[in-house]
Amino acid sequence: MKNLKLLFVTLVFLLYGNLIYAQLRLPNFFSDHMVLQRESAVNLWGWGYAGSTVKVHGSWNKDTVTVKTDANGKWKLKINTVQAGGPYKLSVVSGGELIQFTDVLLGDVFLCSGQSNMEWGGNQNLKEILDELPHANNPNIRLLQVNRNGALAPQENISNGWSSLNEKALKPFSAIGYFLAKELNKKQGVPIGIVNSSWGGTAAEVWTPKDQVEADQALLAFSKMQKANDYRPHENGVLWNGMIAPLVGFNLKGFFWYQGESNVGSSAGYDKLMKTMVNSWRSAWEEELPFYFVQIAPYAYNSKGGVQSALLREQQAKTAVELPRSGMVVVTDLVDNVHDIHPIQKQEVASRLAKITLAEIYQIPTPDYKSPIYSAHEIKGDKVEVTFHYLTGNLVTRGKEITDLYIAGEDKVFHKASGKIQKDKLLVFSSKVARPVAVRFGFTDTAMPNLFNEKGLPVSPFRTDSWVD
């Protein structure tokens, strides 16, 4: 009996010893069903025995790429990808160990991030996604859902891998992320991979590297306004560490962002914070990747003067104009209930993000694909003429009169104003203000004004003054 037990232990060791002592591995987001960025030098990395040789081969290519692990067992290399297609296999070999990934596609990969309006999907009973679930079978859309995890230091891995599109994978996924993938795949005919790394209720500071926030005294002061909460992290950088940093280096086509509601109380610093966050992400990826985002929706914040969120939208508009390779979607017309911070129309939000993406990344000529944003104004007697960025066609209104339009003189008292469209310009006036100084449009927490470009995109709320209310 003793000899039989010894023989059994020996057999187990021979059969499974290599698995027990296996050292070759990659981050979990290198997995079956993944999308790798097409026509690129794609980064691959992982760990193995120190000083060992690692060989990588993609079945789309004849070449095998070889690298040696460093003294800590880490390795990193680049492998060239070809035009969109698949499925392929990707093999990683070191010594007697083999890791093989199957059902790999070459296409375009995007990262979605932010708070709940980006995060929400079928688990929150969004009808648009629930209606999609029975038809969730497009093999050219792949999803990577990043679990909620904060960390005090940058992490090297996440616990998630890619999934092909199916009902189970789609239900908890970002509705906006999915509808973006669906639209881009339909219009471009290439596989689309969407990474969703979002957490409801979170402020932008937690998505920004801690050292970047704390190196600026103004940003540090604003960050201290974020209070502890049992349901979401508030410390600077913790979600950068846990949910973005592990992905750094995974080749992307661009970023999508929907966040800002949790920074309404510190709106004055939001433009600087956004530029700091985006530049830190781009620096980490070593590429000026496009950054397209959604302006926060009308909502009854019960703020002082009723303009607190309008001040944050103003900051977002500033970012959209000044930050290179960025674009902003305006959603003032997509709100069904100003007492619900989660508008249910996610598909149209995704469609507007897709329009910017198709025009700028894929270079499809599209007139007026962005919402008009205030550019300048000129006082002409008793009227104020307003001009806009991102407007080549005419302005239009839905209704007889332009709503949520106000004008003030030197006394800083605003009166309801009339507006007249003059092609791509807006003329604002009121019989109560003979010498106008300032104009405001949709500049409240809950305004849903009715001024658009000819493509149906709403004009971003604005003010021409900088008065403190």
Which CATH number characterizes residue 252's domain? 3.40.50.1110
Q: What local confidence, expressed as pLDDT, does residue 3 receive?
A: 54
CATH code, domain carrying 79: 2.60.40.10
**For residue 14, pLDDT beyond 50:** no
Q: Which of 316, 338, 360 is the last residue of a domain?
A: 360
pLDDT digits (tens, 9 = 90+) for 113-172: 999 999 999 999 999 999 999 999 999 999 999 999 999 999 999 999 999 999 999 999
pLDDT digits (tens, 9 = 90+) for 407-454: 999 999 999 999 999 999 999 999 999 999 999 999 999 999 999 999
Q: What local confidence, expressed as pLDDT, does residue 21 receive?
A: 59
Say if CB 99 and CB 112 are below 8 A apart.
no
Q: What local confidence, expressed as pLDDT, does residue 208 receive?
A: 98
pLDDT band at 7 (very low <50, low <70, confident <90, very high): very low
Q: Span 54-63, mean pLDDT?
A: 97
Are β-strands 425-429 and 383-389 bridged in parallel, bridged antiparallel, or unpaired? antiparallel
Mean pLDDT of all residues belonging to the chain:
95
For tokens 């998630």, the residue is 160
Identify whether 27 is part of a domain.
yes
pLDDT band at 15 (very low <50, low <70, confident <90, very high): very low
**For residue 19, pLDDT beyond 60:** no
pLDDT digits (tens, 9 = 90+) for 250-292: 999 999 999 999 999 999 999 999 999 999 999 999 999 999 9
The answer on 146 and 79 residing in a single domain is: no
Identify whether 116 is part of a domain.
yes
Q: For residue 449, give its domain range.
A: 373-463
Q: What local confidence, expressed as pLDDT, does residue 11 receive?
A: 43
**For residue 355, pLDDT beyond 60:** yes
Identify whether 192 is part of a domain.
yes
DSSP letters, 402-428, are: --SEEEE-TT--EEE-EEEEETTEEEE
Q: What local confidence, expressed as pLDDT, does residue 302 receive?
A: 82
pTM: 0.94
The answer on 117 and 100 residing in a single domain is: no
Measured CA to CA, the distance from residue 331 to residue 321 in angstroms comes to 17
pLDDT exceeding 90 applies to what percent of the chain? 94
Measured CA to CA, the distance from residue 469 to residue 444 in angstroms comes to 12
The answer on 254 and 131 residing in a single domain is: yes
